[in-house]
Amino acid sequence: MGKLWIVGAGPGAADLITVRGRELIARADAILYAGSLVSTEHLTFAPPGCEIADSSGMTLEEMLQWLGERIRRMEIVVRLQTGDPSLYGALTELTTPLRQQGVVIEVIPGVSSAFAAAATAIESLTLPEVTQTVILTRTEGRTPMPEGEQLRHLAAHGATLCIFLSATLLGKVTQELYQAGWSEDQPVLVVHKASWPGEEKIIRGRLADIAQQCKEARIGSQAMIITGPALEASQRMDNPVSRLYAPEFSHQFRKSGPSSP
């Protein structure tokens, strides 16, 4: 019996996959990739003769069957997922029945679209003395949220929010943030297909107008919504700075010196 490797493809650009992920694709006997979200450019790393299938039209049972059949007769089988497999993927549903059958599984992490979106816009998700917390979440749609995890409850913390799978629900997102006490002037960043060559779009707005801006830009899927107190910090001159680099701050690699005037 072979081994199943669940590989995070990253946010979009093929060269943002990890080195380990790319090497596994280059050695794979079979690859089942999430065709609706993963760029086909990733598949150019596959060797000749590799069996490749798109899972976008499959049910979970069909995916399990496809993977199981190939694991029984091939050495390296890769499930290629978007972003990082541990975030909003069917990792548990996919691995539990296969592990019960004795399949050996290893997960290779990937760059999340949350971090790719922040990098694209040159934004920091944390800021000293402003926010040290990042909440990765989504708003409630067809999939209900667990009690206490509704967006308005999480937003009440005032931390950075990276909101997945919610571009079609921006009106609801704004209402939830209003209910949490956020101002209509609060900056909001929406990045569509972060890192995808030729397809990336960056929308900057305020809570009051971001939904309309995204509607006009025809952004309805594959978009990351980021908001919080650290957003647009580079446009301010009075941001607190990390004490780690202060001359009077000692640590194991540097002794403190006199403070700068």
Q: Which of 254, 210, 259 is nearest to 231 (CA)?
A: 210
How many CB atoms are located within 10 Å of the residue 24 CB? 21
User: Binning pLDDT at 50, 70 and 90, where does residue 256 land?
Assistant: confident
Is the pLDDT reported for residue 247 higher than 80? no
Per-residue pLDDT of 3-22, as tens digits, reads 999 999 999 999 999 999 99
What is the arithmetic mean of pLDDT over 153-165? 97
Is the pLDDT reported for residue 141 higher than 70? yes
Any domain includes 140? yes
Same domain, 47 and 83: yes
Last residue of a domain, one of 108, 140, 170: 108
Same domain, 98 and 11: yes
d(CA 108, CA 7): 5
Same domain, 50 and 118: no
CB 135 within 8 A of CB 157: yes
Residue 241's pLDDT is: 73
Same domain, 77 and 131: no
Any domain includes 127? yes
- We report the CATH number of the domain holding residue 190 as 3.30.950.10
Show the domain range for 202. 113-234
Last residue of a domain, one of 108, 136, 154: 108
Cross-strand partners of 33: 54, 80
Any domain includes 13? yes
Question: Considering its fold, how many domains does the chain have in total?
Answer: 2
Any domain includes 83? yes
Mean pLDDT of the chain: 93
Same domain, 104 and 36: yes
State the pTM of this model: 0.90
Same domain, 85 and 198: no
Residue 220's pLDDT is: 82
Same domain, 136 and 69: no
Instruction: Give percent of the chain above pLDDT 70.
Output: 94
- We report the CATH number of the domain holding residue 102 as 3.40.1010.10
Residue 243's pLDDT is: 63
